[in-house]
Structure 1
Amino acid sequence: MSLVTYELDDHIATITLNRPEARNAINGALRRELNAAWERFRDEEDAWVAIYTANGEVFCAGGDLKDGEGSVGTFAGTFWEKPTINSFESGMELFKPTIAAVNGPCVGYGLTGILFCDFVIASTNATFSFPEVRLGMPTIVGAIRLPQRVRWADAMELLLTGKPISAERAKEIGLVWRLVEPDALLTEARAWAKTLTEAAPLAQRATKEVAWRSADMGWIEAVRFGETMRKVVAATDDVTEGLRAWREKREPRWRGS
């Protein structure tokens, strides 16, 4: 049985944690399959948007502490000695749109993962926590990423107490983008993914990359980089199609080329 499933339909890839009997805790095998799924999405030309979700009543219980390969900063020491920098949650360069669809508890590693998604849609029964400090361990990647998503004190509430917050509180602080009833979660995520596929995929990726990289640039460097990206995309077939569709007053037929 696959611990992570990957389904591609109409340019939308759905990546699903599939270890519900263990509350989708991340062990070594699941971690490798999850990394492979994100790499496949990154490299697959026909995949334009990803939905990241999970089977069962728990989105992710965090790293599997019974498995030394499961979590970043595990007690076994594996990731203290060799930190990961190439997985999705730890900074893989991926500029395609990503959506997290979260149901139930989203803990530790699971929360770190959704912080790298552009949109977090959560069910009303979702909760979010970084419990590491209550186990005597620091949170690392989450501590780097979370203050970039929410206000400082709200980030510290999660990071320094280790206590869970509700889906309503997560929306209040800006961690969650949309809140829906549990039975509407995937429907909402798929509808939004479909909306995203209506835009030109290469233009989306260039826009997201400019937004991401320019955050660490000065103004002049950011504008120069952005204009370079504009010229790169301007040479694609999709730009020709977009302008033709506008003139002909019809919907464009994107090819991603």
Structure 2
Amino acid sequence: MALVTYELDDHVATITLNRPDARNAINGALREDLNAAWERFRGDEDAWVAILTANGDVYCAGGDLKDGEGSVGTFAGTFWEKPTINSFESGMELFKPTIAAVHGPCIGYGLTGVLFCDFVIASTEAVFRFPEVTIGVPTIVGAIRLPQRVGWANAMELLLTGEPMSAERAKEIGLVWRLVEPDDLQAEARRWAHTLTKAAPLAQRATKEVAWRTADMGWVESVRFGEVMRKVAGATEDVREGLRAWQEKRTPRWRGR
């Protein structure tokens, strides 16, 4: 049985954690499947948007403390030279739109993965938690990413207490983008994914890359990089199709090239 499933339908890839008997806790085998799914999505030109979700009552229980070997990935090099960008949640460069559809407890590594999604749609029954400090372990990637997402004090609320946070509180601080009833979660995620597929996929990726990279750039460098990306995107077939569709007053037929 695949511990992570990958399904593609109408340009939307659904990546599903599929270890419900272990509360979708991440062990080495699940980690390998999850990394492979994200690599597949990144390289699949027919996949324009991804939904990250899970089977079972628990979205993700975090790292598997009973079977943790390989849960953070496999590495080459010496102790101090291990690469850390080895997965989606640790910073894989991926500029296609991503959606997390979260229900139930979302803990540790699971929450770190959610933080790297562009949109977080959560069930009212979702609960978010970084419990590492309660067992004497620091949170690393979550600590890097979370303050940028929700602000300093809100991030420290999660990171320094290890206490669970309700879906309502997560929506209040900006961790959750949209809150829905449990029965509506998957339909809402797919509805939004299909809304995203109406836009030109290559223009979306260029826009997201500009937003991502310029966060650490000065203003002049940011604008110059953005204008280069405009020229790159301007050379695609989709730009010509978009202009023709506008002139002909019809819906564009994007091809992603």
> TM-score normalized by structure 2?
0.96
Q: Tell me the amino acid that sits aligned with residue 48 of structure 1.
A: W
The corresponding residue for 2:224 is 224
Q: Structure 2 CA distance, aligned partners of 1:52 and 1:119? A: 10
The corresponding residue for 1:31 is 31
Q: CA deviation at 1:68?
A: 3.1
Match runs of 1:195-206 below 5 Å: 195-206=195-206
Count of residues paired in the alignment: 253
SS of the residue 1:90 aligns to: coil
Q: CA deviation at 1:83?
A: 5.2
**RMSD of aligned residue pairs (Cα, Å):** 1.5
Deviations 1:67-104 (A, max 9, x none): 2325449xxxx998835312000000000000000010
- Asked if 1:133 corresponds to 2:144, the answer is no
Show structure 2 runs of 5+ residues with no match: none
SS of the residue 1:190 aligns to: helix
SS of the residue 1:89 aligns to: coil
- Asked if 1:212 corresponds to 2:207, the answer is no
Question: Is the contact made by 2:30 and 2:71 (CA closer than 8 Å) also made in structure 1?
Answer: no
Q: Cα 1:145–1:35, aligned 2, differ >3 Å: closer, same or farther?
A: same
SS of the residue 1:88 aligns to: coil
Q: Structure 1 CA distance, aligned partners of 2:189 and 2:129? A: 22
Show structure 1 runs of 5+ residues with no match: none
Deviations 1:26-76 (A, max 9, x none): 000000000000000000000000000000010000000112325449xxx
Q: Structure 1 CA distance, aligned partners of 2:71 and 2:181? A: 30
Q: Structure 1 CA distance, aligned partners of 2:28 and 2:91? A: 19
The corresponding residue for 2:14 is 14
Q: Which moved more, 1:13-22 or 1:81-90?
A: 81-90
Question: Is the contact made by 1:15 and 1:51 (CA closer than 8 Å) also made in structure 2?
Answer: yes
Q: Cα 1:129–1:136, aligned 2, differ >3 Å: closer, same or farther?
A: same
SS of the residue 2:216 aligns to: coil
Q: Tell me the amino acid that sits aligned with residue 36 of structure 1.
A: A
Q: Structure 1 CA distance, aligned partners of 2:28 and 2:18? A: 14
Q: Tell me the amino acid that sits aligned with residue 121 of structure 1.
A: I
Q: Structure 2 CA distance, aligned partners of 1:161 and 1:70? A: 27
Q: Tell me the amino acid that sits aligned with residue 126 of structure 1.
A: A
The corresponding residue for 1:146 is 146
Q: Structure 2 CA distance, aligned partners of 1:132 and 1:154? A: 17
Question: Is the contact made by 2:31 and 2:72 (CA closer than 8 Å) also made in structure 1?
Answer: no
The corresponding residue for 2:183 is 183
Question: Is the contact made by 2:27 and 2:71 (CA closer than 8 Å) also made in structure 1?
Answer: yes
The corresponding residue for 1:169 is 169
Match runs of 1:73-152 below 5 Å: 82=82, 84-152=84-152
SS of the residue 2:100 aligns to: strand
Using the aligned pairs only, state the percent identity.
84
Q: Structure 1 CA distance, aligned partners of 2:167 and 2:129? A: 11
Q: Structure 1 CA distance, aligned partners of 2:123 and 2:39? A: 27
Question: Is the contact made by 1:202 and 1:233 (CA closer than 8 Å) also made in structure 2?
Answer: yes
> TM-score normalized by structure 1?
0.96
Question: Is the contact made by 1:72 and 1:83 (CA closer than 8 Å) also made in structure 2?
Answer: no
Question: Is the contact made by 1:25 and 1:63 (CA closer than 8 Å) also made in structure 2?
Answer: yes
Q: Structure 2 CA distance, aligned partners of 1:79 and 1:103? A: 36
Q: Tell me the amino acid that sits aligned with residue 28 of structure 2.
A: G
